A = this chain, B = another copy of it.
Amino acid sequence: MVQSIAIAGNSGPKVRSDCEISLELNAEGGINIDLVSKVKSLYGESIRTLTIEILEFFKIRNASVKITDSGALPFVIAARLESAVKQLIDTDLDYLPEFIIENNYSTSRNRFRFSRLYLPGNTPGLMINAGLHSADGIILDLEDSVASGKKDEARILVRNALRQVNFYGAERMVRINQGEKGLEDLRFVIPHNVNLILIPKCESASYVSRVAEEIYNIKKALSLNLNLNNPVFLMPIIETALGVENAFEIARASKDVVALAIGLEDYTADLGVPRTSEGNESFYARTRIVVAAKAAGIQPIDSVFSDVGNMEALRQNVLISKGLGFEGMGCIHPRQIPVIRNGFAPEESEIEKSREIIFAFEMAKRKGLGVIAIGTKMIDLPVVDRAQKTIDLAVRLGLLSPNWIDGFQAEDN
């Protein structure tokens, strides 16, 4: 016997901005909708209209629908209903909500990736305001934060979120699943202007190549869609010993790889050791990944910090991470974002010192001198390079005017 009742979505006292939809296909009797919602008087009619429209789209004429609503937005209701439908009937159709114009932006290879906020891919309540926290990136996660029985639902919800939720310029990232399932995930997100794909538990360059190829194929098949001209970058996450062994090869597996991250919870689990705050157990892996990433010309990104209640410990962690060469870190709570962002940004004193060095270097160059000195201290060329990087960072972060040197010169004279 074919399944005739399907349930999708979530309900319960702690659920926000979601709904649970129960769908039963009938032989006759038309569409019956039973809506339970606190906002029924305000939105009841539009929810019914949407429901009928979607069922019609999937050519369903006779069905009983029970909607237990907890304040779901239309893109959520649509995702839940489509998920229920697809449990019951085979169809190639996708009910796509409008792609809002604000979401049609691309990102660049070298943009900052100081902070990126993880959002469970099947929890709409966390998605809606996520863009307000000013994270550099937003990750819609299809992997570990989604229960294995909910993967199909999450794919459709994430797809709809990519079309409808405004993330206010944050890099729009999706973490796919591992292996073949991860390759299938791509079909659900690539056509909807995702900016970056996170590849979890990455262990080989060949898998990265397969992801890049699959993305290329999806974009080619849909080449009429203009959005698909935006680049889709890749960020493999190293989470096993084998991944560490292959880190350099992974880092340069594709020109689309822009960053290499490490995931320490999984990594220490793979080693079978506790994750300590001193981190001796992962020092080798972390430093090797920094070198692998820098050697490949991409950004090394550190692991998330689990203790969301301890901001001082996070701050210390960021400083250590930055001192080793990492250029960013994942976040699992919005309140971690400013601590991480400020931590990775150059300090005021660092900027000031760099200005002095660059100024002295420019003066020496104009005077045709081969040796650069501040007072009696000789300055090596690598020190100048490092100072220039700090200045570039400060300028890009808006902490310094691009023309600062003119003002600086004036002050000095």
- Does A244 count as interface, using CB distance less than 8 angstroms? yes
Looking at A270, A285, A293, which has the most chain B CB atoms within 10 Å of its CB? A270
- Residues of B near A274 (CB, < 8 A) are 323, 386
Residue A100, interface by CB 8 Å: no
Q: How many copies does the complex hold?
A: 3
Q: Given A245-B248, A291-B244, A295-B244, check contact A370 B322 (CB 8 Å).
A: no
Contact A283 B287 (CB under 8 A): yes
Report whether B323 and A280 are in contact in the complex, using a CB–CB cutoff of 8 Å: yes
B271 touches A290 (CB 8 A): yes
Per-position 1/0 for A373-413, Cβ under 8 A of B: 00000001111011001000000000000000000000000
- How far is B245's CA from A269's CA once the two chains are assembled, in angstroms? 25
B385 close to A269 (CB less than 8 A): yes
Tell whether A370 pairs with B150 under 8 Å between CB atoms, given A268-B386, A386-B272. Answer: yes
Does A146 sit at the interface, judged by CB under 8 A? yes
Cβ of A292 < 8 Å from any Cβ of B?
A: yes
Complex alpha-carbon distance, A81 and B248, angstroms: 50
Chain B hits for A288, CB < 8 A = 284
Interface presence of A371 (CB below 8 A): yes
**Chain A facing B: main interface SS:** helix
* A152 within 8 Å of B (CB atoms): no
- A145 proximal to B (CB < 8 A): yes
* Chain B residues positioned under 8 Å from A68 (CB to CB): none
Residues of B within 8 A of A193 (CB): none
Q: A144-B381, A150-B370 are in contact. Are A245 and B291 (CB under 8 A)?
A: yes
8 A Cβ contacts from A98-137 to B: 120, 122
Contact indicator A149/B368 (Cβ below 8 Å) = yes
CA of A369 to CA of B306 in the docked complex: distance in angstroms? 21
Q: In the complex where A266-B382, A323-B281 touch, is A370 in contact with B122 (Cβ < 8 A)?
A: yes
Closest to A271 in B: B325
Please give the distance in Å from A267's CB to the nearest CB on chain B.
8
A294 an interface residue at 8 Å Cβ cutoff? yes
In the bound complex, CA of A249 to CA of B387 (Å): 31
Shortest C-beta distance, A271 to chain B (Å), equals 4
Q: A382 to B242, alpha carbons, bound, how many Å?
A: 16
Contact of A281 among B122, B239, B325 (CB under 8 A): B325
Q: How far is the CB of A287 from chain B (nearest CB, A)?
A: 3
Q: What per-residue 1/0 map shows which CB atoms of A324-339 lie under 8 Å from chain B?
A: 1101000000000000
State whether the Cβ of A5 lies closer than 8 Å to any Cβ in chain B.
no
CA distance A280 to B389 in the complex (A): 21
A363 interface contact, C-beta 8 A = no
Which chain B residues lie closer than 8 Å to A272 at the CB level?
325, 327, 386, 389
Contact of A281 with B324 at beta-carbon distance under 8 Å, contacts A147-B369, A245-B295 already known: yes
- On whether A265 and B383 interact (CB within 8 A), knowing A284-B291, A325-B273, the answer reads yes
Q: Does A3 contact B (CB under 8 A)?
A: no
6 extra interface residue pairs, beta carbon distance < 8 Å, beyond A145-B371, A273-B322: A148-B370, A263-B382, A268-B382, A269-B386, A271-B290, A284-B287
Q: List 8 A-B contacts (CB under 8 A).
A: A122-B370, A147-B368, A241-B294, A245-B291, A245-B295, A269-B385, A272-B325, A273-B322
